[in-house]
Amino acid sequence: MPKPKNKTQYEILQDVKYFDDITSCQIIMAIQKQSGECFEKEYYNQGDGIKENFVSGFLTALSSFETVISEQLGMESEGNQIKAIQYGDFSISIVDGELLRLALISSEPIGNLFRDKCKILVDTYEEKHSYDLEKFRGDMDIFFDFRQEVEKQLDVKLNYKSKINAKSLEKYEGPKSVRKVLETMVKMGEEFYPVNLPPILMREAELTETNAKYYTYDAYLWYVFEQIESPK
């Protein structure tokens, strides 16, 4: 199959990396930086067994350790630079603002596209709740809109159970072989998680793994997937 139109190989690989990042993400945590307390979290992909307060405590201790060591060595701390900690089969990616820290656990460090979107999420939410974050006293109810902002800035709906939207599929300009597979899924009334679609496209549309993931993400961007269930 030819390369997608108007896309460089770098852009394709970036989109595929982002798809992998989103669909392997287990938890997104919002942490008040000064206290180190996690005030909101969103779980995906069996991430609900993660103890968020343990993770936030570890990150706060690590941040303090970094500051102390940097001072002792006469070096400047990296401050708000995006960081990642790899341990065994999982990675913790950290995106810091002035008042808000975002921590994500996934299978490997997140790529550039996910990082950029996370930084926008941090900046947007921090601006919206600057007073609440600065005067934080443990009241978590005021951050009820965190999930809404996550869903707005990040494509976490790729982790939600879905079905094919027939009307959106009619407008989709993807390859004929891909549309044929999706049309069959409509007829069969199939429900699916987007992460499970690439193997189907590889088999039925004879795509490479890279192209299968790319066109899954592409179809999602065309609103071909209709969410029928989300994490609680």
Domains of the chain, by residue range, sit at: 20-157, 160-229
Which residues in 23-89 belong to E strands, given as ranges?
27-32, 37-43, 83-87
Residue 197 contacts by C-beta under 8 Å, 6 or more apart in sequence? 212, 216
Query: Buried b / exposed e across 48-65, counting CB within 10 Å, b at 16+?
Result: eeeebeebbeebbeebee
Give the pLDDT confidence of 184-209 residue by residue, as tens digits. Answer: 999 999 999 999 999 999 999 999 99
Residue numbers of the chain with a pLDDT score lower than 70: 1-3, 47-82, 231-232
pTM assigned to the model: 0.85
What are the structure tokens assigned to 173, written together? 């300009």
pLDDT of residue 231: 66
Say if domain 20-157 classifies as CATH 3.30.450.30.
yes
pLDDT of residue 70: 43
- Among 93, 218, 219, 231, smallest CA distance to 157 is for 231
